[in-house]
Amino acid sequence: MAIEFNSDALDFAVASIGPYLYAAPEQLDLLALWSAHTHRFEAFAASPRLSIRSMVPGCGKTTALNLAKLLSARGENMGHTTPASLYTLIDSEHPTLCLDEIDNLFSSTGFSRANPALQAVLNDGYTRDGTVRVMRSGVPTKLSIYGTVAFGGIGRLPAAMNSRAVPLMMTKGLPAEVFDTIIEGPIISFCSDMFNDWLSNDSAISFLRSAERRPEIAGLSDPRSRQIAAPLLAIASLAGPEWQERGMRAIRHAFLGVSEEKVLSRAQMALRDAVAAWDSDASFMTGEQLTVRMAGLPNSVWAKVFNVESKAGIHLLASLLKSVGVSATNHRIEGKQTHSYSKDELTKAQI
C-alpha cells in the first residue's frame, strides 16, 4: 500500500503553538511530534513520556503541558484517584495523562510510598507489555497500563522516570518573547483532530508499526533513549523528508542539547519575517501594511499574533523592531508625509 507523505498536520500544529511558548524551533517540533504519536501510540512497542521541565518557575511549563493536553489524544488532567480507578481508566479509555508540578510527588530518593500506582504507570506503563493485576469480583484480572503521559515540574527527576522520557527543558524569556498565554482551545483541538485524521488510515498505521524500534541517532548510543525516540522519528518520517530531518534535529536537541539552527528571539523573528514579507517594489511600508503581509506568510505565527483589525499588532511590531534598532519614521510617499519603515534600515539591521 502506497504511503502519501503529508506534513500539513505537523506544520499547522507548530504554527499554532508557537505564539504561546518561548522555545527553540526544535522544541516546538518535539512537542508536535510527541502529541501526534499519542493518537497512534498502540502502533509502537514503547511510548516516551514527555518531561516538561525547568530549573526555575515561570518558564511556561504549565502552558506547554496544557498545549500537549489539547493536541494529544484524549488528553486528561491527572487529579486524585484510586489505584484501581487509574488502572481501569488506562486500560479502557487510553487517555493521555497530564500531570503538573510532578516535583511535589517525589523526594530526592524517588517517589514516596504514597504513590505506588502512579509510579507503576509512569515507569512500567511506557512499554506495550506494562500490566498490573487487580481483583475483579474476587478474580485476579490483568489490565494494561501501557499509555501516554506528559508531566511538568521543576528540577531533576528520579533516574527511572528520566530514562523513559524525552525532555523539553524550558527557559524563561522576556515578557515580549511570549505573545499570549490564554490558549485558544478550539484551534489547538483542531490540530488534534488533524493528527487523528492523518494517522487513522491503514497505510499510515502499517508504516508506523514497521518503523525501526531503535533507530540510529548520531551521538546517542543509549538503547532506551533510541527506543523512546523511535515513535517520534516514525511520525516525522510519515510527514516526509523535510520533517524526517526536523525530527532528528528535535531528538538531538532534546537529548544532546545540539541545535543546528540559530535560536531567534521574538524580535529577531519579527525582523526576519518583516524582510521576508516586504513588498519588493516598495522602499517604505507602514506598520499596518507590514503586519498584514507578515500575517500572510506561509505557516506564520503572526496571523494569530497580529490582530489586523486593530492597532494592537502595529504597536507590537513597533515594540519588537525597536528592540533590534529599527523604528518607523516620517517619510514622504507619493507627496504625503507617512510614518513608515524603511527597507534599507530593516536590511541593515539584519547584518
pLDDT for 108 beyond 70:
no
Taking residues 27-38, report their average pLDDT: 96
Asked if residue 283 and residue 230 are part of one domain, the reply reads no
pLDDT of residue 29: 95
Least confident of 4-8, 12-16, 147-151: 4-8
**Model confidence over 120-179: pLDDT tens digits?**
778 888 888 888 887 777 788 888 889 899 988 887 777 778 889 999 988 876 555 566
pLDDT for 47 beyond 70:
yes
Taking residues 28-49, report their average pLDDT: 95
Asked if residue 288 and residue 153 are part of one domain, the reply reads no
Asked if residue 236 and residue 314 are part of one domain, the reply reads no
Beta-bridge mates of residue 49: 165
Give the count of domains, the chain.
Answer: 2
CA distance 60 to 230: 26
Asked if residue 343 and residue 247 are part of one domain, the reply reads no
Q: State the average pLDDT for the chain.
A: 84
Least confident of 86-95, 153-162, 199-208, 317-326: 153-162
pLDDT of residue 229: 93
Tell me if the pTM is above 0.75: yes
CATH at residue 307: 1.10.10
- With pLDDT > 90 as the criterion, what percentage of the chain qualifies? 28
Domain annotation covers residue 98: yes
Q: Which residue has the higher pLDDT, 130 or 70?
A: 70
Burial class for 88, CB neighbours closer than 10 Å (0-12, 13-18, 19+): middle
Asked if residue 95 and residue 208 are part of one domain, the reply reads yes
Domain annotation covers residue 41: yes
Do 257 and 250 meet the contact criterion of CB atoms below 8 Å apart?
no
Asked if residue 45 and residue 80 are part of one domain, the reply reads yes
pLDDT of residue 230: 94
Domain annotation covers residue 1: no
pLDDT of residue 49: 92
Taking residues 222-232, report their average pLDDT: 92
What's the CA angle centered on 69, arms 155 and 53, to 5 degrees? Answer: 10
Domain annotation covers residue 3: no
Asked if residue 235 and residue 312 are part of one domain, the reply reads no
pLDDT of residue 351: 62
pLDDT for 302 beyond 90:
no
Model confidence at 110, pLDDT cuts 50, 70, 90, reads: low
Model confidence at 115, pLDDT cuts 50, 70, 90, reads: low
Mark which of 234, 256, 278 sits at the end of a domain: 256
Asked if residue 205 and residue 125 are part of one domain, the reply reads yes
Beta-bridge mates of residue 324: none
Asked if residue 320 and residue 248 are part of one domain, the reply reads no
pLDDT of residue 72: 95
Model confidence at 240, pLDDT cuts 50, 70, 90, reads: very high
CA distance 171 to 19: 15
pLDDT of residue 178: 61
**Model confidence over 276-290: pLDDT tens digits?**
999 888 888 888 889
Domain annotation covers residue 197: yes
Beta-bridge mates of residue 337: 332
Range of the domain at 338: 266-350
pLDDT of residue 77: 84
Domain annotation covers residue 23: yes
Phi-psi label, residue 152: left if phi above 0, alpha if psi -120 to 50, beta otherwise: beta
CA distance 130 to 121: 8
pLDDT of residue 244: 94
Mark which of 256, 284, 313 sits at the end of a domain: 256
Asked if residue 169 and residue 71 are part of one domain, the reply reads yes
Domain annotation covers residue 273: yes
Mark which of 256, 288, 306 sits at the end of a domain: 256
Asked if residue 57 and residue 111 are part of one domain, the reply reads yes
Q: Which residue has the higher pLDDT, 81 or 35?
A: 35
Beta-bridge mates of residue 151: 51, 99
CATH at residue 148: 3.40.50
Highest-confidence segment of 136-140, 269-273, 295-299: 269-273
Domain annotation covers residue 326: yes
Asked if residue 207 and residue 336 are part of one domain, the reply reads no
